[in-house]
């Protein structure tokens, strides 16, 4: 009984954590997309992009750890959902270390708009 109550409280904390991270990520995305015409584009936007990518890595690592704790405590989190977060952690890490090449700049704007869309849908 006690374990089930703790599990439910942790699940509520995970939802609040996700909501806060989605809000911060959407603010970062809008700022990154609005600063493309700025003279300080290369430094300032690059720092914002790296902050956003680090936020993604941190968010998915934290979610994966919390979901693993919930699973051990008897939660019925599906394996595919946890696998999705493991894969998202790896992909976010790749995005964090991706060099600023032509391929990145071709991918960047569409990826940022996709993140804005996802954050508004949640």
pLDDT at 7: 63
Contact 58, 88 (CB under 8 A): no
C-beta atoms surrounding 90 within 10 Å? 11
pLDDT along the chain (122 residues), means of 10: 64 68 71 60 67 86 86 85 91 88 84 79 61
Around Cβ 25, how many Cβ atoms within 10 Å?
20
Its sign, for the CA torsion 98, 96, 78, 117, is: negative
| Confidence at residue 90, expressed as pLDDT on a 0 to 100 scale | 94
- What pLDDT shows up at residue 3? 63
- Token couple for 98: 């991706």
Cα separation, 102 vs 106, whole angstroms: 6
- The model's pTM is 0.70
Residue 118's pLDDT is 76
């Amino acid at each position: 009984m006690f374990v089930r109550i703790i599990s439910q409280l942790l699940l509520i904390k995970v939802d609040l954590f996700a909501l806060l991270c989605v809000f911060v990520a959407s603010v970062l995305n809008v700022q990154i997309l609005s600063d493309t015409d700025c003279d300080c584009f290369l430094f300032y936007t690059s720092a914002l992009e790296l902050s956003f990518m680090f936020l993604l890595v941190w968010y998915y690592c934290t979610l994966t750890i919390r979901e693993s704790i919930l699973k051990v405590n008897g939660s019925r989190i599906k394996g595919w959902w946890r696998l999705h977060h493991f894969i998202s952690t790896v992909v976010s890490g790749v995005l964090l270390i991706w060099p600023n090449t032509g391929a990145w700049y071709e991918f960047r704007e569409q990826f940022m708009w996709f993140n804005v869309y996802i954050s508004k849908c949640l």
